[in-house]
Amino acid sequence: MEFDLQAALPQLLPKAIAWAEAQARRVTETGEALSEAGTVTARRVGVEHPELIRILLVEELPLPDEPSLRGAAVFTGLIGPHMAGLTLGHSILIVKGALDLRLFSHECRHVHQYEQHGSISVFLPVYLQQIATVGYANAPLEQDARAYEQ
Protein backbone atom coordinates (compact mmCIF):
# COMPACT_ATOMS: atom_id res chain seq x y z
CA MET A 1 0.00 0.00 0.00
CA GLU A 2 1.27 3.42 -0.94
CA PHE A 3 1.68 5.88 1.84
CA ASP A 4 -0.38 8.94 0.92
CA LEU A 5 1.64 11.84 2.28
CA GLN A 6 -0.70 14.41 0.83
CA ALA A 7 -3.68 12.92 2.67
CA ALA A 8 -1.73 12.57 5.91
CA LEU A 9 -0.09 16.00 5.77
CA PRO A 10 -2.73 18.08 7.58
CA GLN A 11 -2.48 15.80 10.63
CA LEU A 12 1.28 15.40 10.41
CA LEU A 13 2.25 19.04 9.94
CA PRO A 14 1.80 20.31 13.52
CA LYS A 15 3.82 17.34 14.81
CA ALA A 16 6.46 17.78 12.10
CA ILE A 17 6.84 21.48 12.92
CA ALA A 18 7.12 20.83 16.67
CA TRP A 19 9.70 18.10 16.07
CA ALA A 20 11.69 20.28 13.65
CA GLU A 21 11.69 23.23 16.06
CA ALA A 22 12.91 21.03 18.92
CA GLN A 23 15.70 19.58 16.76
CA ALA A 24 16.65 23.07 15.60
CA ARG A 25 16.92 24.24 19.23
CA ARG A 26 19.15 21.30 20.08
CA VAL A 27 21.50 22.20 17.23
CA THR A 28 21.44 25.87 18.26
CA GLU A 29 22.60 24.85 21.73
CA THR A 30 25.18 22.23 20.80
CA GLY A 31 26.26 22.91 17.21
CA GLU A 32 29.28 24.79 15.92
CA ALA A 33 29.34 28.18 14.25
CA LEU A 34 30.73 28.47 10.73
CA SER A 35 34.38 28.96 9.93
CA GLU A 36 35.35 31.95 7.78
CA ALA A 37 35.38 29.74 4.69
CA GLY A 38 31.99 28.34 5.62
CA THR A 39 30.65 31.86 6.04
CA VAL A 40 31.88 32.78 2.55
CA THR A 41 30.15 29.73 1.06
CA ALA A 42 26.92 30.42 2.95
CA ARG A 43 26.85 34.01 1.67
CA ARG A 44 27.61 32.84 -1.86
CA VAL A 45 24.45 30.71 -1.93
CA GLY A 46 22.30 33.52 -0.56
CA VAL A 47 22.30 33.14 3.23
CA GLU A 48 21.60 36.51 4.81
CA HIS A 49 22.65 35.59 8.37
CA PRO A 50 25.48 33.02 8.23
CA GLU A 51 26.41 33.99 11.80
CA LEU A 52 23.19 32.31 12.97
CA ILE A 53 24.02 28.97 11.35
CA ARG A 54 25.03 26.10 13.61
CA ILE A 55 26.23 22.73 12.36
CA LEU A 56 25.94 19.53 14.34
CA LEU A 57 27.69 16.37 13.18
CA VAL A 58 25.69 13.26 14.09
CA GLU A 59 26.14 9.50 13.77
CA GLU A 60 22.80 9.36 11.98
CA LEU A 61 20.02 11.82 11.29
CA PRO A 62 17.46 11.89 14.12
CA LEU A 63 14.11 10.19 13.50
CA PRO A 64 10.96 11.38 15.25
CA ASP A 65 9.74 9.15 18.11
CA GLU A 66 6.08 9.77 17.39
CA PRO A 67 4.92 6.73 15.33
CA SER A 68 2.93 8.45 12.56
CA LEU A 69 5.63 11.06 12.04
CA ARG A 70 8.37 8.47 12.13
CA GLY A 71 6.50 6.32 9.62
CA ALA A 72 6.01 9.25 7.26
CA ALA A 73 9.69 10.21 7.45
CA VAL A 74 10.74 6.65 6.65
CA PHE A 75 8.17 6.09 3.88
CA THR A 76 9.00 9.33 2.09
CA GLY A 77 12.73 8.71 2.46
CA LEU A 78 13.16 12.23 3.79
CA ILE A 79 15.15 10.92 6.71
CA GLY A 80 16.87 7.66 6.00
CA PRO A 81 20.14 5.89 5.42
CA HIS A 82 20.77 7.62 2.07
CA MET A 83 20.22 11.09 3.48
CA ALA A 84 23.32 12.79 4.83
CA GLY A 85 22.03 16.24 5.69
CA LEU A 86 18.99 17.89 7.25
CA THR A 87 18.44 21.62 7.57
CA LEU A 88 15.90 23.10 9.99
CA GLY A 89 16.00 26.88 10.02
CA HIS A 90 19.61 27.95 10.68
CA SER A 91 20.35 24.52 12.13
CA ILE A 92 22.17 22.01 9.92
CA LEU A 93 22.57 18.36 10.86
CA ILE A 94 25.21 16.44 8.91
CA VAL A 95 26.08 12.76 9.20
CA LYS A 96 29.69 12.34 10.32
CA GLY A 97 32.00 11.70 7.41
CA ALA A 98 29.59 13.14 4.84
CA LEU A 99 30.46 16.81 5.23
CA ASP A 100 31.82 18.16 1.96
CA LEU A 101 31.43 21.39 0.01
CA ARG A 102 28.64 20.03 -2.19
CA LEU A 103 26.49 18.91 0.75
CA PHE A 104 27.34 21.97 2.85
CA SER A 105 26.41 24.41 0.06
CA HIS A 106 23.20 22.46 -0.62
CA GLU A 107 22.13 22.66 3.02
CA CYS A 108 23.10 26.36 3.18
CA ARG A 109 20.79 27.01 0.24
CA HIS A 110 18.00 25.44 2.33
CA VAL A 111 18.95 27.92 5.10
CA HIS A 112 18.45 30.69 2.54
CA GLN A 113 15.03 29.21 1.72
CA TYR A 114 14.06 29.19 5.41
CA GLU A 115 15.17 32.83 5.65
CA GLN A 116 12.99 33.70 2.66
CA HIS A 117 9.97 31.96 4.21
CA GLY A 118 10.65 33.47 7.64
CA SER A 119 10.35 30.47 9.94
CA ILE A 120 10.26 26.69 10.22
CA SER A 121 6.48 26.80 10.65
CA VAL A 122 6.06 28.64 7.34
CA PHE A 123 8.72 26.77 5.37
CA LEU A 124 7.86 23.18 6.30
CA PRO A 125 4.25 23.15 5.02
CA VAL A 126 5.43 24.51 1.65
CA TYR A 127 8.33 22.08 1.45
CA LEU A 128 6.38 18.99 2.52
CA GLN A 129 3.51 19.88 0.18
CA GLN A 130 6.01 19.90 -2.68
CA ILE A 131 7.39 16.52 -1.62
CA ALA A 132 3.83 15.16 -1.37
CA THR A 133 2.79 16.34 -4.82
CA VAL A 134 5.83 16.00 -7.08
CA GLY A 135 8.26 13.95 -5.00
CA TYR A 136 11.65 14.70 -3.53
CA ALA A 137 13.62 14.82 -6.80
CA ASN A 138 11.22 17.21 -8.51
CA ALA A 139 10.36 19.43 -5.56
CA PRO A 140 11.20 23.01 -6.63
CA LEU A 141 12.91 23.74 -3.30
CA GLU A 142 15.17 20.70 -3.79
CA GLN A 143 15.88 21.63 -7.39
CA ASP A 144 16.84 25.12 -6.22
CA ALA A 145 19.16 23.70 -3.56
CA ARG A 146 20.80 21.39 -6.10
CA ALA A 147 21.29 24.30 -8.50
CA TYR A 148 23.36 26.10 -5.85
CA GLU A 149 25.63 23.19 -4.97
CA GLN A 150 29.27 24.28 -5.16
Does residue 139 touch Zn ion according to CB under 5 A? Answer: no
Q: Under DSSP, is residue 88 helix (H, G, I), strand (E, B) or coil?
A: strand
d(CA 149, CA 131): 20
The residue count of the chain comes to: 150
**Residue 145 near Zn ion by CB under 5 A:** yes
Give min distance, CB of 35 to Zn ion, in A.
22
CB 119 within 8 A of CB 4: no
Site for Zn ion contains 124 (CB under 5 A): no
Strand partners of residue 43 = none
Task: Give 96 or 146: the residue with its C-beta nearer to Zn ion.
Answer: 146
- Residue number, 8 or 92, with CB nearest to Zn ion: 92
Helix or strand holding residue 150 (H, E): none
Stretch that binds Zn ion, among 30-38, 67-75, 114-122, 139-147 (CB under 5 A): 139-147
- Identify which range of 11-19, 93-101, 128-136, 142-150 contacts Zn ion by CB under 5 A: 142-150
Region of 42-50, 91-99, 123-131, 138-146 interacting with Zn ion (CB under 5 A)? 138-146
CB atoms closer than 10 angstroms to residue 101? 12
User: How many residues make contact with Zn ion (CB under 5 A)?
Assistant: 2
Nearest partner of 104 among 61, 62, 51, 145, judged by Cα: 145
Residues that bind Zn ion (CB under 5 A): 142, 145
